[in-house]
Amino acid sequence: MKIEGVELRRVALPLALPFRTSFGTETARDVLLVRVVTSDAEGWGECVAMADPLYSPEYVEGAADVLRRFLVPALPRIADAHAAERAMLPFKGHRMAKAALETAVLDAELRAAGTSLAAYLGASASRVPCGVSVGIMDSVPALLDVVAGYVAEGYVRVKLKIEPGWEVAPVRAVRERFGDDLLLQVDANAAFTLADAPLLARLDPFDLLLIEQPLAEDDLVQHAALARRLRTPLCLDEAIESAAHAAAAISLGSCAVVNVKPGRVGGYLEARRIHDLCRAHGLPVWCGGMLETGIGRAANLALSALPGFTLPGDTSASSRYFTEDITEPFVLDDGHLTVPTGPGIGVAPRPDRLADVTTDSEWIPL
Ligand code: OSB
Ligand code: MG
């Protein structure tokens, strides 16, 4: 199975609803898709880098540059995801770019073999419960309306984005309106400091599943200090870029839960290692999201079906993100999404839709 070349394709998709986090407001996704063409099959990967380097140092234009300049030329000629991972290892960082290329290679490899990504990764579920990530709103009544809509759609867990000044009040309001049985958690995207420990401790009475990444993106030591001062479990997102980081966080006591995002950690192979490590240590994991299209979503659902993913993920339905996805839409059924069973990631972009939203395309022969 020889790799013939790689296409980098950019698509522009408006978001169904502006998404505000502590680091900024997204109104559209500028997505980089990677298509690997081999002699037997082609494979797709989605790069989750955002337009600006606000969540992490990566950004979509930088990802395209490192792919065309270094990562694609380094690819082995045979489509083998482990070999691709090793070949990209000398290049530091750029995990989102690496993840997109590795996933496209893996998809091609699995399609040629007739194996689904879910089966390959070791999935034990055929459908997964889904949560939804709710942005910061202009007012508490506006937030309650949005949450009410998602709860009515059937989402089994709600995550509220928080920042200083938008923490206790939104959590209290959602608890009062939807009751103690709603699975509820918050995500600060690194917006607080250790000096905010007393403020964050005011969230303890609300029985949240977890507080996600309250402190700086690279600080395991202060997260460990904060964890000792809160009853609510801490979960890390930004701070875990590899299985080695997860091991360090577990040793230090920096978190009790890990948000696994394949893009953030360099791909599905490393994501599975983090799953295996956390499972061995008794830490629950869940699958985060980066406002993916159906391409990234399909692969995330396969990962979410592994046995250690015991908390609902940010794997929401297509309608949560886009009025029209680039794949067949993922539709919520009783709060769950079905894990694709076809070869590879099990989905592909619809050609007509893809053509409509493509803003740029570049072919890199090998
Ligand atoms: O921190 O989990 C995050 C989206 C973009 C960047 C960072 C994050 C998020 C989300 C949305 O919370 C998750 C999703 O529904 O895709
Ligand atoms: Mg997060």
Per-residue pLDDT tens over the stretch 79-117 = 999 999 999 999 999 999 999 999 999 999 999 999 999
Active site residue 261: yes
Is there a single domain that holds both residue 92 and residue 135?
A: no
Residue 346, domain member (yes or no): no
Active site residue 92: no
- Nearest 5°: CA angle at 171, between 180 and 27? 125
pLDDT digits (tens, 9 = 90+) for 200-249: 999 999 999 999 999 999 999 999 999 999 999 999 999 999 999 999 99
pLDDT digits (tens, 9 = 90+) for 43-87: 999 999 999 999 999 999 999 999 999 999 999 999 999 999 999
Pocket of ligand 1 (CB under 6 A): 55, 133, 187, 189, 237, 288-291, 314, 316
Q: What is the CATH number of the domain that holds 102?
A: 3.30.390.10
Residue 166, domain member (yes or no): yes
Is there a single domain that holds both residue 152 and residue 91?
A: no
Question: In the predicted model, what is the mean pLDDT of the chain?
Answer: 98
pLDDT digits (tens, 9 = 90+) for 344-354: 999 999 999 99
Is there a single domain that holds both residue 71 and residue 207?
A: no
Kindly give, in sequence order, each residue whose CB lies less than 8 Å from that of residue 114, ignoring residues fewer than 6 positions away: 343
Please compute Rg for the chain using Cα positions: 20
Does residue 1 register a pLDDT over 90? no
Q: What is the CATH number of the domain that holds 322?
A: 3.20.20.120
pLDDT on residue 248: 98
Mean pLDDT of 135-157: 98
pLDDT digits (tens, 9 = 90+) for 163-189: 999 999 999 999 999 999 999 999 999
Is there a single domain that holds both residue 161 and residue 275?
A: yes
Q: Counting ligands in written order, which one lies closest to the CA of residue 150? A: 1
Q: CA quadruple 162, 165, 166, 170: dihedral positive or negative?
A: positive
pLDDT digits (tens, 9 = 90+) for 289-307: 999 999 999 999 999 999 9
Show the domain range for 18.
3-114+351-359
> Which among 62, 56, 63 has a CA at the least distance from the CA of 23?
56
Q: Counting ligands in written order, which one lies closest to the CA of residue 263? A: 1
Is there a single domain that holds both residue 176 and residue 277?
A: yes
Mean pLDDT of 324-336: 98
Q: Which percentage of the chain shows pLDDT scores above 90?
A: 100
Is there a single domain that holds both residue 223 and residue 285?
A: yes
Residue 31, domain member (yes or no): yes
Is there a single domain that holds both residue 68 and residue 143?
A: no
Domains of the chain: total: 2
Burial class (CB in 10 A: 0-12, 13-18, 19+), 141: exposed
Residue 345, domain member (yes or no): no
Evaluate if pTM is beyond 0.85.
yes
Distance of CA 240 to the CA centre of its chain: 12
| Backbone phi and psi for residue 25, each to the nearest 5 degrees, phi listed first | -115, 125
Q: Which percentage of the chain shows pLDDT scores above 70?
A: 100
Closest residue by Cα to atom 1, ligand 1, is: 189
Is there a single domain that holds both residue 101 and residue 130?
A: no
Is there a single domain that holds both residue 149 and residue 75?
A: no
Ligand 1 atom closest to residue 259's alpha carbon, by position in its atom list: 2
Is there a single domain that holds both residue 232 and residue 173?
A: yes
Is there a single domain that holds both residue 128 and residue 142?
A: yes
